[in-house]
């Protein structure tokens, strides 16, 4: 009955939902949330679609090969926009001051040289692996987070009302019921999509190229400097989705577990260094994390936010000041429950011989171990459930211990 109502609402609002970001949450309160020990954990999974450049987000400044490989876009510890040193070796992108503060307060951590088991370089397949939790791509219609929820005692239903939202990200799709929500307004297509389309039109349809370019310029003129957060642009949208999601999750009867997806990380050209396109996106992500912190209030103490992407990017920049599809990258953890203040890495080094296929950061940590560690610490899932149901055939990727305080 309730599901019918939700479906109807979804249908009637389908017209105008947010494009560049999406949010979905579990509809039930886990049984133990109100148990005697008072633990009431919250978990947010943020998927960055398009493949985040981990070497630009958390730069191995101490690696002698880094500056040469990342060339014109490499971060430095000095200069006009110095990267923020996390330790003596790794430095955080300067457009993430909030994450840096959380890190200093030991509520944020970085896992570096991490990857899913996927070793090819297709976004679609890579995202399938990241979200489905299976070892290889395939058309599985459920995600690891949903299967983790299925393994939990269900408890009571929360947030009985409105369920508005675009499609649920694969990671949270499956048998366990979820609700979705998204700000309602006509969103703008992101710049990356627009640029790709202009490029296609330039080759195939010059008249449409000129019309669309003009239209985009009009839009820019209307919203001013594109690099500043303005209502409606991507940075503002990311914050907005996070703010809404945090508000929902902060309620006594709000969802405890949620997933979001942010698009636009496929920085093939003009990626930018301390300022530029990636910097712009990272500031949006940083803002979103800050929104979760402030929006969750007291609940932040019980929260873990996991930020993950389908794969990394080439260690060496390409001919257009960007990076191509790669392998190893970073995963970020933030939240009051994170045992933070550290970069967790078995650093493989960036010497040519140490690169994966002589081009990518070699993954030394399985992303599944990180996530399994969080799920085990937070929700008490057994090794067996994690290795067979949540991440099938992942027994070799042992849950990482001690990620959560």
Q: Which of residues 2-61 bind other proteins (CB under 8 A)?
A: 11-20, 22, 49-51
The angle, 0 to 180 degrees and rounded to 10, between the axes of the packed helices 97-104 and 277-296 is 50
Q: Cα-flanking dihedrals φ and ψ of residue 45, to 5°?
A: -110, 125
| Touching other proteins, residues 264-323 (CB under 8 A) | 264-266
Instruction: Report if residue 195 touches other proteins, rule: CB under 8 A.
Output: no
User: Distances in Å between the alpha carbon of 197 and those of 267, 308, 357?
Assistant: 15, 27, 31
Instruction: Report if residue 175 touches other proteins, rule: CB under 8 A.
Output: no
Instruction: Report if residue 219 touches other proteins, rule: CB under 8 A.
Output: yes
Residues 6+ apart with CB under 8 A from 138: 128, 132
Q: Which stretch binds other proteins (CB under 8 A): 99-107, 108-116, 261-269, 271-279?
A: 261-269
Report the distance separating Cα 328 and Cα 116, nearest Å: 9
Size of interface with other proteins, in residues (CB under 8 A): 76
107/268 with CB nearer other proteins: 268
Of the candidates 87, 156, 199, 383, which one interacts with other proteins according to CB under 8 A? 199
Instruction: Report if residue 137 touches other proteins, rule: CB under 8 A.
Output: no
Report the distance separating Cα 20 and Cα 29, nearest Å: 28
Of the candidates 153, 161, 224, 297, which one interacts with other proteins according to CB under 8 A? 161
Instruction: Report if residue 104 touches other proteins, rule: CB under 8 A.
Output: no
Report the distance separating Cα 194 and Cα 198, nearest Å: 6
Report the distance separating Cα 158 and Cα 269, nearest Å: 44
Report the distance separating Cα 32 and Cα 153, nearest Å: 8
Smallest distance from the beta carbon of 247 to other proteins, in angstroms? Answer: 5
β-pairing, 329-334 vs 342-344, is unpaired
213/354 with CB nearer other proteins: 213
Percent helix, strand and coil across the chain, each to the nearest 5: 40, 15, 45
CA dihedral 195, 201, 202, 207 (to 10 degrees): -120
Smallest distance from the beta carbon of 185 to other proteins, in angstroms? Answer: 4
12/72 with CB nearer other proteins: 12
The single-letter DSSP state of residue 398 is P
Smallest distance from the beta carbon of 290 to other proteins, in angstroms? Answer: 17
Q: Which stretch binds other proteins (CB under 8 A): 29-37, 70-78, 208-216, 329-337?
A: 208-216
Of the candidates 35, 186, 352, 395, which one interacts with other proteins according to CB under 8 A? 186
Smallest distance from the beta carbon of 29 to other proteins, in angstroms? Answer: 12
Report the distance separating Cα 237 and Cα 20, nearest Å: 7
| Touching other proteins, residues 240-259 (CB under 8 A) | 240, 243-244, 247-248, 251, 253-254
């Amino acid at each position: 009955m309730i599901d019918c109502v939700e479906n109807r609402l979804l249908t009637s609002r389908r017209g105008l939902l947010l494009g560049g970001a999406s949010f979905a949450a579990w509809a039930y309160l886990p049984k133990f949330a109100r148990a005697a020990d008072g633990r009431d954990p919250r978990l947010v999974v943020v998927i960055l679609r398009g493949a985040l450049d981990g070497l630009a987000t958390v730069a191995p400044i101490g690696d002698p090969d880094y500056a040469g490989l990342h060339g014109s876009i490499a971060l430095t510890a000095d200069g006009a926009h110095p990267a923020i040193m996390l330790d003596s070796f790794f430095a955080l992108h300067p457009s993430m001051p909030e994450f840096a503060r959380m890190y200093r307060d030991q509520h944020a951590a970085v896992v570096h040289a991490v990857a899913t088991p996927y070793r090819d370089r297709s976004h679609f397949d890579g995202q399938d692996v990241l979200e489905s939790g299976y070892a290889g791509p395939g058309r599985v219609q459920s995600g690891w987070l949903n299967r983790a929820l299925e393994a939990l005692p269900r408890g009571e239903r929360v947030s009985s009302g409105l369920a508005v939202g675009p499609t649920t990200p694969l990671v949270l799709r499956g048998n366990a019921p979820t609700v979705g929500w998204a700000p309602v307004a006509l969103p703008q297509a992101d710049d990356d999509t627009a640029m790709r389309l202009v490029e296609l039109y330039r080759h195939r349809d010059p008249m449409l190229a000129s019309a669309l370019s003009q239209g985009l310029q009009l839009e820019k003129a209307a919203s001013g400097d594109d690099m500043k957060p303005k209502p409606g642009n991507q940075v503002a949208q990311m914050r907005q989705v996070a703010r809404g999601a945090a508000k929902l999750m902060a309620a006594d009867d709000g969802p405890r577990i949620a997933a979001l997806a942010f698009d636009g990380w496929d920085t093939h050209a003009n990626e930018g260094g301390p300022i530029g396109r990636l910097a712009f996106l990272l500031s949006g992500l940083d803002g979103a994390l800050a929104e979760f912190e402030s929006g969750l209030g007291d609940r932040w103490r019980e929260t873990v936010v996991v930020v993950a992407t389908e794969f990394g990017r080439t260690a060496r920049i390409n001919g257009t000041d960007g990076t191509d599809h790669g392998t190893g990258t970073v995963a970020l953890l933030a939240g009051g429950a994170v045992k933070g203040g550290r970069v967790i890495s078995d650093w493989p080094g960036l010497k040519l011989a140490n690169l994966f296929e002589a081009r990518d950061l070699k993954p030394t940590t399985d992303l599944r171990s990180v996530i399994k560690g969080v799920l085990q610490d937070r929700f008490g899932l057994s090794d067996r459930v994690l290795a067979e149901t949540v991440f099938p055939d992942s027994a070799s990727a042992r849950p990482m211990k001690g990620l959560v305080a």
